[in-house]
Chain A
Amino acid sequence: MTKRQNRMLFVALLVAGAILAITLLLQALGSNTNYFYSPTEVAEGKAPVGKSFRLGGLVAKGSVKRKDMKVNFDVTDNKNKFNIEYTGILPDLFREGQGIITTGSLVDGTFLATEVLAKHDENYMPPEVADALEKAKESKQK
Chain B
Amino acid sequence: MWKWIQAFASPQNFYYTAKKIIPWFLYPFIALTLVGLYWALIKSPPDYQQGDSVRIMYVHVPAAWMSLFIYVVMAVAGGIGLIWQIKLANVVAVVSAPIGAAFTFLALVTGAVWGKPMWGTWWVWDARLTSELILLFLYLAYMSLNNAFDNPKTASKASSVLAIVGLVNIPIIYYSVEWWNSLHQGSSIGVTKVSMHIDMFIALLLISFAFKFLYGVLILMRARDELLVREQNSRWVKAVVMEGKNND
State whether the Cβ of A18 lies closer than 8 Å to any Cβ in chain B: yes
The answer, yes or no, to whether B167 is at the interface (CB within 8 Å) is yes
**Interface contact A91-B120, CB-CB below 8 Å:** yes
Q: At the interface, yes or no: A34 with Cβ under 8 Å from chain B?
A: yes
B167 touches A33 (CB 8 A): no
In the complex, B144 has a CB within 8 A of chain A: no
Residues of A within 8 A of B172 (CB): 22
Q: State whether the Cβ of B45 lies closer than 8 Å to any Cβ in chain A.
A: yes
A106-129 near B? 1/0 per residue, CB < 8 Å: 000000000111111111111111
Are B119 and A119 in touch, CB under 8 angstroms?
A: yes
Shortest C-beta distance, A68 to chain B (Å), equals: 19
Inter-chain CA distance A8–B85, complex, in Å, is: 11
Residues facing A in B53-91 (CB within 8 A) are 53-54, 57, 79, 82-84
CB distance from B231 to the nearest CB of A (A): 23
> Is B196's beta carbon under 8 Å from chain A?
yes
- Categorize the interface residue count of chain B: 35 or more
| Residues on A with beta carbons closer than 8 Å to the beta carbon of B225 | none
Interface string of B196-236 (1 = CB under 8 A from A): 11001000000000000000000000000000000000000
**Which of A21, A118, A122, A129 is B118 in contact with, Cβ under 8 Å?**
A118
C-alpha spacing A33/B176, complex, angstroms: 10
The reply to whether B124 and A15 form a contact with Cβ atoms under 8 Å apart is: no
Q: Identify whether the interface residues of A are mostly helix, strand, loop, or mixed.
A: mixed
Question: Which residues of B lie under 8 Å from residue A67 when comparing CB positions?
Answer: none
Known: A33-B127, A35-B180, A35-B182. A8 touches B83 (CB 8 A): yes
CB distance from B50 to the nearest CB of A (A): 7
Cβ-defined contact, B50 with A15, below 8 A: no
Contact B200 A124 (CB under 8 A): yes
Q: Which residue of the partner chain, among A10, A37, A93, contacts B50 with CB atoms under 8 Å?
A: A93
The answer to whether A119 touches B185, judged by C-beta atoms less than 8 angstroms apart, is yes
CA–CA, A56 and B180, complex, Å: 13
Is B119 a contact partner of A122 (Cβ separation < 8 A)? no
CB within 8 Å for A101 and B197 given contacts A11-B79, A118-B118: no
Asked whether B117 lies within 8 Å of A126 as measured between CB atoms, the reply is no
Given A7-B83, A93-B49, A101-B183, the answer on whether A124 and B119 have CB atoms closer than 8 Å is: no
Contact A120 B118 (CB under 8 A): yes
Q: Which residues of B contact A35 (CB under 8 A)?
A: 124-127, 180-183
> Complex Cα distance A92/B118, Å?
6
Please tell me if the beta carbons of B187 and A122 are within 8 angstroms of each other in the complex.
Answer: yes
Residue of chain B at shortest CB distance from A32: B180
| Given known A-B contacts A90-B120, A116-B120, A126 and B164 have beta carbons under 8 A apart | no
**Cβ-based interface call for A19 (8 A):** yes
Q: A21 — nearest CB in chain B belongs to which residue?
A: B168
Q: Is the CB of B57 within 8 A of A124?
A: yes
Q: Are B165 and A124 in contact (CB under 8 A)?
A: no
Closest 4 pairs (CB-CB, A-B): A91-B120, A126-B45, A130-B48, A35-B126
